[in-house]
Amino acid sequence: KAGVTQTPRYLIKTRGQQVTLSCSPISGHRSVSWYQQTPGQGLQFLFEYFSETQRNKGNFPGRFSGRQFSNSRSEMNVSTLELGDSALYLCASSLEARASYEQYFGPGTRLTVT
Amino acid sequence: AQSVTQLDSQVPVFEEAPVELRCNYSSSVSVYLFWYVQYPNQGLQLLLKYLSGSTLVKGINGFEAEFNKSQTSFHLRKPSVHISDTAEYFCAVTNSRLTSGSRLTFGEGTQLTVNP
């Protein structure tokens, strides 16, 4: 079975621009979560989607948004980029949106904001 | 809300030595506990998890962890490490309520470096 894929793997953007990151979960997985990883703040939860509905949201400003499609693929969008948005963005998928189900992480998208 | 503290940011050890990576958590509700490993330029891989039952949990690559409810700890151990175990290790916790989804709260990470 193919793992979680994230595209693009690397991205360079300028302050003020917006960006869209994509995540394709493992086939059959219906839950997708997004995390931001930075050296200063560590791994922080952004949001979780299940069956096209946002189930959980972390403590991030409204500039961060996401969505999930009917095939469970997910996108996250960051508008009006700031230097502090530079991070590794990780996507994870699981069969169900339940804590007991293992989450499988993708390799991440490395976003650099200049 | 939950929080996780990994007590050591860096742990250097020699090959074939035992290692323990320490993790304490705080939560007002029942939790599940996890250890993940991250190799350079890769995502996270689950090493092991505690959901319920036996407090000693065995995972992949020879790692094990012990859940101690009274001390709110979930320390990771390996009796003999290899160079290939060099990586960053993350302890994570989540609310075990069925309706709470699978949101993970991570610790700050422990960089394990195995030297020859």
The rounded radius of gyration (Å) of the Cα atoms in chain A is 13
Contacts of A107 in chain B (CB under 8 A): 41-43
Q: Which two tokens stand for residue B55?
A: 């407090």
B42–A107: do the CB atoms touch at under 8 Å? yes
Bridge partners (DSSP) listed for residue A47: A34, A57
Q: Which of helix, strand or coil describes residue B85?
A: helix
Confidence of residue B98 (pLDDT cuts 50, 70, 90): low
Count of CB atoms situated within 10 Å of the CB of A50: 21
Q: Do A97 and B32 touch (CB under 8 A)?
A: no
What does the alpha-carbon distance between residue A53 and residue A68 come to, in Å, rounded to a whole number? 7
User: Checking DSSP bridges between strand B10-14 and strand B110-115, what pairing results, if any?
Assistant: parallel
Three-state DSSP class for residue A95? coil
Q: Is the pLDDT of residue B100 over 70?
A: no
Look at residue B41 in the predicted model and tell me its pLDDT: 84
Indicate the length of chain B as a whole number.
116
Q: Which one-letter amino acid corresponds to residue B16?
A: E
pLDDT digits (tens, 9 = 90+) for A46-79: 999 999 999 989 999 999 999 999 999 999 999 9
With a cut of 80, say whether residue A99 has pLDDT above it.
no
C-alpha radius of gyration, chain B, whole number: 14
In tens, the pLDDT along B31-70 reads: 899 999 999 888 999 999 999 899 999 999 999 999 999 9
Average pLDDT, chain B: 94
Distance between CA atoms of residues A114 and A14, nearest Å: 5
Strand partners, B49: B34
Q: Which residue of A has its CA nearest to B1?
A: A58
pLDDT reading at A1 higher than 80: no
- The answer to whether the Cβ–Cβ distance between B106 and A103 falls below 8 Å is no
Chain A residues contacting B via beta carbons under 8 Å: 4, 31, 33, 35, 42-45, 48, 50, 55-56, 58, 90, 92, 94, 96-108
User: Cβ contacts of residue A36 below 8 Å, gap of 6+?
Assistant: A43, A44, A46, A60, A87, A88, A89, A90
Number of H helices, E strands in chain A: 0, 11
Chain A residues whose CB is inside 8 A of the B32 CB are 99-100
